[in-house]
């Protein structure tokens, strides 16, 4: 296809198809309509994370290693949820966007805890009327996610978990911005040190063995 006749969304899709895993593509001067069209074309693709900030488009392709950590975090939270009868709703890498602010973002994972009752049975979440997820997760093995923090702040996300391969750091929104804290305000048993400890087992143990260890650890914690 002649790229001279393509619209920006079509051209970007062709570029995405040529990207290897763990790549980053950044485009400037992209309109909100082009961003919307791109989302319609690729959907919420499991192998991509698309971020839009007032004309700046960022697309990241993912690796198996990246996704392994995402799934492990979801399994840890899911086991805690079911064992302690905590209502946690999982929305994966769902696109979150606000048209008026011209911002959109896809986390690696997101959870509703405190606001689970507000979105419980909904298939579609509209951030103009619905609350944002209580927790979003970012895995920074090869690329930083700090540039996404202002977008999460605009959307109103109160807590971010960021894992950069060595430590999982929990950030809480305050009037001064996102500040590191030790324990999740929504899932207090999951501290930065606890999550880091189980994630750092990953290069040496498979997910099954890690979950068995987490099950034993959780059983030893006071109710």
- Summarize pLDDT for 63-115 with one digit per residue, the tens: 999 999 999 999 999 999 999 999 999 999 999 999 999 999 999 999 999 99
For position 4, what pLDDT does the model report?
56
For position 46, what pLDDT does the model report?
65
Angle at 115 between CA 40 and CA 82, to 5 degrees: 95
Q: DSSP character for 19? A: P
What confidence tier does 136 reach under pLDDT thresholds 50, 70, 90? Answer: very high
Cα–Cα distance, 84 to 68 (Å, whole number): 24
pLDDT, tens only, 148-170:
999 999 999 999 999 999 999 99
pLDDT, tens only, 181-195:
999 999 999 999 999
What confidence tier does 44 reach under pLDDT thresholds 50, 70, 90? Answer: low
For the domain made up of 64-219, the CATH class stated in words is alpha beta
Structural contact between residues 173 and 153, judged by C-beta atoms closer than 8 angstroms: yes
Q: Is the pLDDT assigned to residue 47 strictly greater than 90?
A: no
Angle at 81 between CA 132 and CA 148, to 5 degrees: 30
**3-class secondary-structure state, position 143:** coil
Burial of 185 (0-12, 13-18, 19+ CB in 10 A): middle
In 3D space, the residue among 64, 77, 102, 47 whose CA is nearest the CA of residue 159 turns out to be 77
The whole model's pTM is what? 0.93
Structural contact between residues 107 and 145, judged by C-beta atoms closer than 8 angstroms: no
For position 1, what pLDDT does the model report?
45
């Amino acid at each position: 296809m002649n790229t001279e006749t393509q619209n920006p969304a079509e051209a970007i899709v062709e570029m995405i198809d040529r990207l290897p895993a763990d790549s980053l593509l950044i485009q400037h001067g992209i309109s909100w309509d082009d961003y919307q069209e791109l989302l319609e074309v690729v959907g919420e693709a499991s192998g991509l994370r698309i971020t839009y900030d007032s004309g700046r488009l960022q697309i990241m392709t993912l690796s198996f290693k990246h996704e392994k950590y995402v799934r492990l975090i979801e399994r840890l939270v899911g086991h805690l949820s079911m064992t302690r009868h905590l209502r946690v709703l999982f929305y994966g890498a769902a696109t979150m966007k606000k048209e008026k602010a011209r911002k959109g973002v896809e986390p690696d994972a997101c959870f509703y805890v405190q606001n689970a009752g507000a979105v419980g049975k909904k298939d579609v979440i509209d951030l103009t009327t619905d609350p944002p997820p209580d927790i979003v997760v970012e895995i920074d093995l090869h690329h930083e996610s700090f540039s996404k923090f202002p977008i999460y702040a605009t959307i109103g996300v109160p807590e971010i978990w960021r894992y950069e391969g060595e430590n999982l750091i929990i950030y809480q929104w305050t009037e001064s911005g996102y500040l590191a804290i030790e324990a999740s305000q929504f899932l207090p048993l999951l501290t930065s040190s606890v999550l880091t400890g189980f994630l750092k087992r990953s290069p040496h143990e498979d997910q099954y063995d890690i979950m068995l260890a987490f099950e034993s650890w959780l059983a030893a914690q006071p109710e």
